[in-house]
Structure 1
Amino acid sequence: MIYPPLDHPLWFLPAFLIGACIGSFLNVVIYRLPLGLSVNDPKRSFCPKCKSEIPMRLNIPLVSWLALKGKCVSCKAPIPSRYFIVELVTAVLFAVVGWVVVQHTGGKEFSVQMLALFPLWFMTATFVAIAFIDAEHLIIPLELTISGTVAGFIAAALMPVLPDMAAWASSDPSWLGGLYQALIGWVIGFFGLWAVVLLGKLAFGRKQLSFEEPVAWHLEEPKTEEETIVFHMEEEKIEWWDIFFRPSDKLVIEAKSIRLNGNEVEAGTLILRENGIELPNGEKVELEDIESLEGTSASAVIPREAMGMGDVHLMGVIGAFFGWSGVFFTLLVSSLYAIAGAALGRIGFGKQLPFGPFLVLGALTWLFGGWKLAEWYFNALQ
């Protein structure tokens, strides 16, 4: 049998279909991973509302969501459009990434460098999962960034031009040269952004709430497994995972009154941590022993981050794949994307911002041609 050359448009179809199937699995990852659930147990997908398992015939990527009109066949609960969007976006990205690899490796016939397609597809799937998880939960799971970094080094060894797409970065096209550029990219991406986080912590590490008269505050317990504890104080409403990033983080309330599990306790400085509280008398209470907590206060200090460590690890992944030049390009372009998003009203200035999706967009922009802009710019300087 004679197969068409690898740069033939027919190869877009299998890449698209593979991407759609991977996107279906990513929906499981996006839903379960932030909740601490296993992505393998139960093995079959289930409806988040009625928990009924979804049979194979009703779990066909792209087709099933359209055929069911976005509703569960058992309880008729709406299935978010995100499920369809993730499958479609992943399918399209797999096809485009396949085209990029073919273009960079000469095109028509197979070469060892084309094996880089698989770690690049892994990167694409990881980027999609990170973007949607961070957009919803403001977290980037470490499992995704660690595996993504490993994939980046593998891709650099198979396709040395990848972390050196703008050819002025190095002159060694060997697999060792590719690994060297990937290592430099990872170091600059990870530690460079880490420095930004540390400086941001010094500048914006605390948020002070002050009122002329004491106002009510309370903890709102989650109603479902998908929700988390919410801290309320006047107009402030902050989810638990938005407050605590490290074990050392603490929320300090100068309480005029405190009611713990319905009982009045001594007022004073109340310290809230991720796993429990410390009462003004020094007594510590574990979070699982708290049924209700409320009171009044005129001031509180809330810890906050300029940027999370998840973004730092993500920049390490981007550096491993695209080298130091890709890191600088991604930071610049992702910042412009974030500013544009705020200007268009999709996100708010001064509000907590999931930066992961914009980093992903910036990295994909580099892969899909942004490196040519960098190459042109540096050649123009010379």
Structure 2
Amino acid sequence: MIYPPLDHPAWLVAAFLVGICVGSFLNVVIYRLPIGLSVNDPKRSFCPGCKSPIPMRRNLPLVSWLVLRGKCADCGGRISIRYFLVELLTGLLFTAAWAVMMSRVPAGQFVVADLAILPVWFLIAVMVSITFIDAEHMIIPLELSISGTVAAVLAAVLQPQLTDLAGWQIVAPDWLGGLKFSALGWVLGFFGLWAVVLLGKMAFGKVEWKHEQPVAWRLEDPETDEDPILFHMGEETLPWWDIFFRKSDRLVIDADTLVVDGEETEAGQVVIHGAGVKLPDGREIAIENLKSLEGTAKRAVIPREAMGMGDVHLMGVIGAFLGPFAVFFSLMAGSLLAIVGALLGRIGFGTRLPFGPYLILGALIWFFGGWKVGEWYLAAFR
């Protein structure tokens, strides 16, 4: 059988169809992974509302959501437009990636470099998943970063030009050169951003809530298994995962009054960590054994991060995928885009913002042509 050349427009259609099918699976990953559910069990997708299994005939990418008008066919509950957007976005990115990748290898006969489209597609799938998970849950699952790093190194080995899109010939244009530059990109991305995190922790590691008069505070149990524990103090509210990033993080409350499991007890300093609570009388209670915790206080010290370690691992993925120069570009572009996003969203100063989506957007801009900015800058500098 004779196939059209790989730069033929027909392959763009095929890439789009593959992309929307992968996007359908990514919706499963985005929904299940952050709440600890298996992406393979149950194998069939189900309605987030009534939990009814969705048969294959009602699970066609893009089409089903449009035909059903964003509602479940069984319970009539609303199905988020996110499902449609993830499928469409993945399809478009797969198509654009095919066009970019095929433009970087000689036209005509299939060569080893063409195989790099597979790990690149995998990387795009990882980035789409991280974008929506981080935007909703403020976390970047480590398993996505690890698998993305492996795919990035494989892509760099199969097509070394990925880590040197501008063709500066920093390293030899062979598989070993691609591997070295990919490793250098990972080191620079991971450890460079880790240094930023450590400096940010030193400068902004704690925030203090103070009130002239005692205000009510309490821990609120989640309504469902998918929701976090909430900490309320006065008019402020923080979810559990916005407070505790590491085992060493502590929420310290100078309680004027204290009620534990419905019984008033000795007031004083209450220290809450990710696994439990230490009371002023010396008792320690595991979170899962605690029925209720509340009281009044004038002061609380809350740990916070300038940036999470999930962003650090993601920066390593970007560096391994696109090389050291992309690390600087993605970080700079991501920071500028985050500022614009905060201004457009009217997000107040000090409010935590998911940085992963902006880093990913910066990396994709580099991949889809932003490297020309770096090329222009270096040419002008010379």
TM-score by length of 2: 0.98
Q: Please give the alpha-carbon distance, in whole angstroms, between the structure 2 residues aligned to 1:314 and 1:145.
A: 6
Q: Is the 8 A contact 2:90 2:125 kept in 1?
A: yes
Q: Is the 8 A contact 1:90 1:128 kept in 2?
A: yes
Secondary structure at the aligned position of 1:161 is classed as: helix
| Aligned counterpart, 2:366 | 366
Q: Please give the alpha-carbon distance, in whole angstroms, between the structure 2 residues aligned to 1:169 and 1:26.
A: 36
Unaligned runs of 5+ in 1: none
| Aligned counterpart, 1:272 | 272
Q: Is the 8 A contact 2:338 2:358 kept in 1?
A: yes
Let me know the Cα RMSD of the aligned residues: 1.0
1:124 aligns with 2:124: yes
Secondary structure at the aligned position of 1:176 is classed as: helix
Alpha-carbon displacement from aligned partner over 1:99-135 (angstroms, at most 9, x marks no partner):
1000111234311101110000000000000000000
| Aligned counterpart, 1:310 | 310
Residue range with higher mean Cα deviation, 116-125 or 345-354: 345-354
Q: Is the 8 A contact 2:334 2:361 kept in 1?
A: yes
Q: Please give the alpha-carbon distance, in whole angstroms, between the structure 1 residues aligned to 2:2 and 2:358.
A: 43
Residue 346 (structure 1) shift: 5.9
Unaligned runs of 5+ in 2: none
Q: Please give the alpha-carbon distance, in whole angstroms, between the structure 1 residues aligned to 2:285 and 2:42.
A: 34
Q: Please give the alpha-carbon distance, in whole angstroms, between the structure 2 residues aligned to 1:328 and 1:257.
A: 50
Q: Is the 8 A contact 1:219 1:293 kept in 2?
A: yes
Q: Please give the alpha-carbon distance, in whole angstroms, between the structure 2 residues aligned to 1:158 and 1:370.
A: 22
| Aligned counterpart, 2:227 | 227
Q: Is the 8 A contact 1:145 1:317 kept in 2?
A: yes
Q: Please give the alpha-carbon distance, in whole angstroms, between the structure 2 residues aligned to 1:237 and 1:196.
A: 27
Alpha-carbon displacement from aligned partner over 1:281-336 (angstroms, at most 9, x marks no partner):
11110111111111000000000000000000000000001110010010111111
| Aligned counterpart, 1:93 | 93
Q: Please give the alpha-carbon distance, in whole angstroms, between the structure 2 residues aligned to 1:178 and 1:86.
A: 31
Q: Is the 8 A contact 1:190 1:313 kept in 2?
A: yes
Percentage identity across aligned positions? 62
Secondary structure at the aligned position of 1:3 is classed as: coil
Q: Please give the alpha-carbon distance, in whole angstroms, between the structure 2 residues aligned to 1:161 and 1:376.
A: 18
Q: Please give the alpha-carbon distance, in whole angstroms, between the structure 1 residues aligned to 2:64 and 2:346.
A: 29
Q: Is the 8 A contact 1:204 1:304 kept in 2?
A: yes
Q: Please give the alpha-carbon distance, in whole angstroms, between the structure 2 residues aligned to 1:328 and 1:155.
A: 20
Secondary structure at the aligned position of 1:216 is classed as: strand
Q: Please give the alpha-carbon distance, in whole angstroms, between the structure 2 residues aligned to 1:302 and 1:82.
A: 33
| Aligned counterpart, 2:104 | 104
Q: Is the 8 A contact 1:333 1:362 kept in 2?
A: yes
Q: Please give the alpha-carbon distance, in whole angstroms, between the structure 1 residues aligned to 2:166 and 2:187.
A: 19
| Aligned counterpart, 1:164 | 164
**Size of the alignment, in residue pairs?**
382
Q: Is the 8 A contact 1:169 1:325 kept in 2?
A: no
| Aligned counterpart, 1:69 | 69
| Aligned counterpart, 2:44 | 44
Q: Is the 8 A contact 2:171 2:178 kept in 1?
A: no
| Aligned counterpart, 1:321 | 321
Paired residue type of 1:46: F
1:288 aligns with 2:282: no
Alignment of 1:1-382 (within 5 A): 1-168=1-168, 170-345=170-345, 347-382=347-382
Alpha-carbon displacement from aligned partner over 1:235-285 (angstroms, at most 9, x marks no partner):
210000110000010100000111111111111000011111000111110
Alpha-carbon displacement from aligned partner over 1:11-57 (angstroms, at most 9, x marks no partner):
11110011101101100110111101111111111111111111111
